[in-house]
Amino acid sequence: MSGGIEGTDMPTLREKQSVFAEMVAKLIIKANLIERPVVVVEWYRTKERQEYLVSIGRSKTMNSKHLDGLAVDLVAIEDIKDGNVNWDGEMWKPLGLYWESLGGRWGGRFGDNLATEKIEGWDSGHFQFD
């Protein structure tokens, strides 16, 4: 990243968002290549939306990267057809591992048991900048 915050090597939020958008584009292309086409269901969230999601148990934090536009939630297209979202970590594992190879943090690891190879995290359709 060029620029950054004056006097430091720290990138600005805008620079992080730009890099993140490129990473998401690569992830969506990869999903199509492995025959798991996806759609973005949520990217940026307002504080009010985040508060609501926490209040109904759909999110566990008020410090979500969604608030800065640095997280995205995906749903597999085949799940949209029947209305049942598949958050199974094993199904998302190839995309999660690819995302991690790009330098991102994958929600399928949130709460994951690192002692096993099975993906057990609770937010496997979530991909964030790290």
CATH of the domain at 112: 3.30.1380.10
> Is 1 inside a domain boundary?
no
Please check whether residue 94 lies inside any domain of the structure. Answer: yes
Specify the amino acid at residue 125.
Answer: G
Please indicate, yes or no, if residue 55 is contained in any of the structural domains: yes
52 within a domain of the structure (yes/no): yes
- Is this model's pTM higher than 0.85 or not? no
Cβ proximity of 95 and 124 under 8 Å = no
- pLDDT tens digits, 52-102: 999 998 888 898 999 999 999 998 887 677 667 777 778 888 999 999 999
Q: Residue 102: CB partners within 8 Å, gap ≥ 6? A: 23, 26, 27
Q: What's the structural domain count of the chain? A: 1
Kindly tell me if the per-residue pLDDT of 10 is higher than 70.
Answer: yes
Q: Which domain holds residue 110?
A: 13-128
Neighbours of 2 (CB within 10 A): 5
37 domain residue, yes or no: yes
Q: Does 23 reside within a domain?
A: yes
Tell which wins on pLDDT, 122 or 92. 92
**DSSP letters for the chain:** --S-STTSSPPPHHHHHHHHHHHHHHHHHHHHHTT--EEEEE----HHHHHHHHHTTS-S-S--GGGGT-EEEEEEHHHHHHT-----HHHHHHHHHHHHHTT-EEGGGTT--TTSSS---S-TTEEE--
Q: 76, 86 in Cβ contact below 8 A?
A: yes
102 falls within a domain: yes
Q: Looking at the domain assignment, is residue 7 inside a domain?
A: no
- How high is the pLDDT of residue 46? 95
